[in-house]
Amino acid sequence: MTQIARYAQFKKIKIDSVKGSIKLNLKMIGSVLLETIDVTGSTVETHYDVKSAEDDETIVSILKLARKGCWARQMVANHTPFTDTLVLNGEAITI
């Protein structure tokens, strides 16, 4: 939601309030003890509640722009690879 307010401000679009919620649909299978744990996320559902006197098209445009500029959303959508390092008691360990 910070990008919605930020981009609206850049474009001089008046938004009175923005509220939102995110629902992650997650599934965990396997066992930590057996080291077979695996998790997946099937969907991410985002709900926006915007108060503004601006027309629908203007608000939809800002929302689309904010979605493109959301770091977290883009990392998930574009399968950003992870790089892990471990230093244990001062020594680099290969994971």
Instruction: Give 30-53 pLDDT, tens digit per residue.
Output: 999 999 999 998 899 999 999 999
User: At 2, is the pLDDT very low, low, confident or very high (cuts 50, 70, 90)?
Assistant: confident
Q: Write the pLDDT tens digit of every residue in 54-82.
A: 999 999 999 999 999 999 889 888 988 99
The whole-angstrom separation of Cα 75 and Cα 94 is: 25
Query: Hey, which residues does 27 pair with through a beta bridge?
Result: 40
Cα end-to-end span (Å), the chain? 36
- Tell me, yes or no, if the pTM score tops 0.85: no
pLDDT confidence of 1, banded at 50, 70, 90? low
Q: What is the pLDDT of residue 72?
A: 87
